[in-house]
A = this chain, B = another copy of it.
């Protein structure tokens, strides 16, 4: 199958372009010695986090490798290992460049102004995006070329999911623990400003932005990307043999090229938001047009082109709805701000209510999208065509992932640049440039979260459909008690998972708070700026706490599906996946949007609304923002991983359940 080779070559091209972008970033001037020093701390901290995370990962990966090798097949185990390795590589390279781009962005804002700063920050994000899609498509294409068996390469997807679990959940806990620690002891107790170098947790906080929003987001979308490709292969080969696979992989390859092209259009020194939007639109339009040509080439008609448009549209609409619920120019955020006037509790109720209400639009769009993708690809006459259509929608949505990640990872780089400018006391104008870049980053981050949820939902759905195909079930009949029991348990998992990750943030933050307090007390001259705080110690403590706290939720995500599959059987496990998918998507939307809305309600008030800073309204808004932090940066995004991981685990271990499933009944 030539297209697999072509796709792999496109993947290599993406990596080459990533290398070019990375060297472009590397060549830029880092600025003064002070800037180098601060940036060095952040870079080292981020790398220290990754290394320690990878060390913990090894145990998990080796254990799963052995289980897969013995329980399923050696080939699957090897694919798993490669998947994990590729995800680790993408994360490592992406983080490495992102933590170099931050200081260079700050310096460019100082020396050259907005245009150059935007260019560097975006290039830093682009490296992460290109590595994710490049490694993703190379892995899937080459492994499928070698093994010619979709069941075996599920291992690759499981590898991606395993790393995503650590990166997203561990990273999510880390970033909020560091944030809370820095704020609570530094700002509130010691009364020093944000991003003050005297604060021992300040580096950990800046590291956190990279860990959560660069590495976490990257691993999340790597998982979605790989999962979507896997399911389009699984269903494509049943539906239309070679053509089905080629078309799906072809769209992905086109999407990569389109993303690369679009990256040349992200520039300008007036309106960074417009420049970034331009990139996204160009990538989408090229992908859509060429997909039509491909559909005509492979099938002689445009039937299977429609789900690609559906996927792209679902992604865009969900992102827009997310923006409506989380940006301060619309009613929801203003409502929360207004409710803050009467105090903390009304702010909280308003935020929760906005978050819950924000599920309505995306769910209706998703429901319509699913039906359209299925029915218009001919699912009503030939079910497998419709299911293939659903996987095509997922691929369509994810085709331009490189450009999505680039836009998304740009945010934390700009945020970091602002922090460095502050810590190094660069002039006011520099901070203005980085602030305006950062504020665009907040919007793109919210939109990116909507995209991540939507893609997780479509990917998990495709994998769920692949599971049914693989297990040979004729359906998942939810009127059967064992299935409804499975669905109940699956539906409960996102609630338990969210509860655990929220508590985890509290626990990890507690460890951080103790450490910051200790340093303030024990290091003489720290408050006068005469002695340097032990930044690395804070990074270390936050890392350790995050990795410890993610063990229980992580184990649940892997063990519960296996238990249900073995004890109650394959069909009940299907119910579990459906239940987890539905409440997982709902809870992810609810929590991410509530968190985003609270955040911007606070910023809206800080901008002067309802009396601005120092009022009751502002105090209430700060409370809402603090509650929203673990919602939007830890628990919400972690649910994306949960729903995909559950479906991937079910798919990989399907052979086990077919043989031994349902021993309890």
Least Cβ distance of A334 to chain B in Å?
A: 14
A476 neighbours in B (Cβ, 8 Å): 477-479
Verify A353–B503 contact, CB threshold 8 A: yes
Residues of chain A whose beta carbon lies under 8 Å from any beta carbon of chain B: 184, 339, 342-346, 348-350, 352-357, 359-360, 363-364, 366-368, 370-371, 373-375, 379-380, 386, 390, 461, 464-465, 468, 473, 475-489, 491-492, 495-496, 498-500, 502-503, 505-506, 568, 574-575, 578-579, 582-583, 585-586, 590, 622-624, 626-627, 630, 665
| Known A475-B479, A506-B346: A586·B495 in contact at CB below 8 Å | yes
User: In the complex, which of the residues B368, B468, B489 contacts A479, with contact meaning CB atoms closer than 8 Å?
Assistant: B468
Verify B575–A478 contact, CB threshold 8 A: yes
Verify A630–B349 contact, CB threshold 8 A: yes
Verify A495–B349 contact, CB threshold 8 A: no
A479 neighbours in B (Cβ, 8 Å): 464-465, 468, 473, 475-476, 574
A contact patch SS: helix
User: In the complex, which of the residues B353, B366, B465, B483 contacts A488, with contact meaning CB atoms closer than 8 Å?
Assistant: B366
Name the residue in A344, A373, A483 with the highest tally of chain B Cβ atoms < 10 Å from its Cβ: A344
Alpha-carbon distance A345/B599, docked complex (angstroms): 13
Verify A489–B371 contact, CB threshold 8 A: no
Name the residue in A357, A568, A622 with the highest tally of chain B Cβ atoms < 10 Å from its Cβ: A357
Alpha-carbon distance A489/B184, docked complex (angstroms): 41
Least Cβ distance of A342 to chain B in Å?
A: 8
User: In the complex, which of the residues B345, B373, B630 contacts A623, with contact meaning CB atoms closer than 8 Å?
Assistant: B345
Residue of B nearest to A500 (CB): B357
Q: When A and B form their complex, which 9 residue pairs have the shortest distance between CB atoms, in order from nearest?
A: A475-B477, A345-B626, A367-B485, A356-B499, A374-B481, A357-B499, A363-B492, A491-B582, A356-B495
| Known A481-B371, A482-B371, A626-B345: A489·B364 in contact at CB below 8 Å | yes
Name the residue in A368, A386, A468, A475 with the highest tally of chain B Cβ atoms < 10 Å from its Cβ: A475
| Known A348-B627, A627-B345: A363·B574 in contact at CB below 8 Å | no
Alpha-carbon distance A352/B505, docked complex (angstroms): 13
Least Cβ distance of A32 to chain B in Å?
A: 38
| Known A349-B502, A352-B502, A503-B353: A586·B491 in contact at CB below 8 Å | yes
User: In the complex, which of the residues B348, B465, B578, B590 contacts A348, with contact meaning CB atoms closer than 8 Å?
Assistant: B348
Residue of B nearest to A356 (CB): B499
Verify B367–A489 contact, CB threshold 8 A: yes
Verify B574–A492 contact, CB threshold 8 A: no
A386 neighbours in B (Cβ, 8 Å): 481
Residue of B nearest to A497 (CB): B356
Least Cβ distance of A384 to chain B in Å?
A: 12
Alpha-carbon distance A482/B461, docked complex (angstroms): 13
User: In the complex, which of the residues B349, B464, B480 contacts A627, with contact meaning CB atoms closer than 8 Å?
Assistant: B349
Least Cβ distance of A556 to chain B in Å?
A: 10
Verify B468–A363 contact, CB threshold 8 A: no
Alpha-carbon distance A473/B128, docked complex (angstroms): 50
A468 neighbours in B (Cβ, 8 Å): 479
Alpha-carbon distance A568/B495, docked complex (angstroms): 29
A485 neighbours in B (Cβ, 8 Å): 366-368, 370-371
Residue of B nearest to A480 (CB): B475
User: In the complex, which of the residues B496, B568, B578, B626 contacts A359, with contact meaning CB atoms closer than 8 Å?
Assistant: B496
A465 neighbours in B (Cβ, 8 Å): 479
Verify B665–A492 contact, CB threshold 8 A: no
Least Cβ distance of A275 to chain B in Å?
A: 35
A370 neighbours in B (Cβ, 8 Å): 481, 484-485, 488
A368 neighbours in B (Cβ, 8 Å): 485
User: In the complex, which of the residues B366, B495, B623, B627 contacts A590, with contact meaning CB atoms closer than 8 Å?
Assistant: B495
Alpha-carbon distance A184/B359, docked complex (angstroms): 31
Least Cβ distance of A264 to chain B in Å?
A: 39
A495 neighbours in B (Cβ, 8 Å): 356-357, 359-360, 586, 590
A568 neighbours in B (Cβ, 8 Å): 371
| 16 A-B contact pairs sorted by A residue (CB < 8 Å) | A339-B506, A343-B623, A345-B622, A345-B626, A349-B505, A349-B630, A367-B485, A370-B484, A371-B665, A373-B481, A464-B479, A468-B479, A477-B478, A491-B583, A491-B586, A583-B586
Residue of B nearest to A373 (CB): B481
A665 neighbours in B (Cβ, 8 Å): 371, 375, 380
A371 neighbours in B (Cβ, 8 Å): 481-482, 485, 568, 665
Alpha-carbon distance A359/B477, docked complex (angstroms): 24
A578 neighbours in B (Cβ, 8 Å): 478, 484, 487
List 13 extra interface pairs beyond A345-B623, A475-B477, A487-B578, CB under 8 A.
A344-B623, A349-B626, A349-B627, A350-B506, A356-B496, A360-B492, A364-B489, A374-B481, A375-B665, A465-B479, A476-B477, A478-B487, A478-B574
Alpha-carbon distance A578/B342, docked complex (angstroms): 39
| Known A359-B492, A623-B345, A627-B349: A354·B582 in contact at CB below 8 Å | no
Verify B484–A353 contact, CB threshold 8 A: no
A379 neighbours in B (Cβ, 8 Å): 481
A374 neighbours in B (Cβ, 8 Å): 481-482
Alpha-carbon distance A368/B489, docked complex (angstroms): 10
Alpha-carbon distance A458/B356, docked complex (angstroms): 25
Verify B478–A360 contact, CB threshold 8 A: no
Verify B348–A623 contact, CB threshold 8 A: yes
Residue of B nearest to A474 (CB): B477
A502 neighbours in B (Cβ, 8 Å): 349, 352-353, 356
User: In the complex, which of the residues B353, B482, B499 contacts A354, with contact meaning CB atoms closer than 8 Å?
Assistant: B499
Name the residue in A371, A375, A506 with the highest tally of chain B Cβ atoms < 10 Å from its Cβ: A371
